[in-house]
Structure 1
Amino acid sequence: MAAFKKHLIYKKDNWNMLTVEVQGKTLVLREISDQWGEEARSFISRPEMMHWANERFKRENYVGNEEEYEAIMAAFKLV
């Protein structure tokens, strides 16, 4: 059995990170935060995941920190 390919979208520390695992045709996103714990979401396509990412990470929330926004979105595009 082949291992799933895991993509690190961001990691601020051990309690604040977001990863995406490619499990065949399914994309499993795991978001861990010190505030909310762990949340997992499954997507059946990259466009579906990118739609979620664009809703979750709104450009206007990163005014003054555009580099972080660009890095997060670039990491999603590499999945």
Structure 2
Amino acid sequence: MIKKHEIYKKDKWNMMTIEVQGKYLVLREISDQWGEETQTFLSRPALMHWANNRFPKEEYQDKEDEWREIMAAFKGV
């Protein structure tokens, strides 16, 4: 059984989902700039390490609530 988590969705071109496929975590990021990118992680700590690099808190100085929501969604996977 595959369990799907939505990290964020702004529209059909800007969204991120994670599918839990057995021991794999498959992240799909769709953006209007880069198209679709897929990454596969073997552990939640590896996923969180990637998420902290992809969404550095410093870039969300005026949008801390948005950063907290994104990180909470990752932690919920």
- TM-score w.r.t. the length of structure 1 is 0.96
Give the deviation of 1:30 after TM superposition: 0.2
1:27 aligns with 2:30: no
SS in 2 for 1:64: coil
| Residues in 2 aligned to 1:13 and 1:72: alpha-carbon distance in whole angstroms | 16
1:66 aligns with 2:67: no
RMSD: 0.4
Question: For residue 31 of structure 1, what is the amino acid of its counterpart?
Answer: E
Provide the identity percentage. 68
List 4+ stretches of structure 1 deviating above 6 A: none
Question: For residue 5 of structure 2, what is the amino acid of its counterpart?
Answer: H
Question: For residue 43 of structure 1, what is the amino acid of its counterpart?
Answer: F
Give structure 1 stretches of 5+ with no counterpart.
none
SS in 2 for 1:5: strand
1:10 corresponds in structure 2 to: 8
Give structure 2 stretches of 5+ with no counterpart.
none
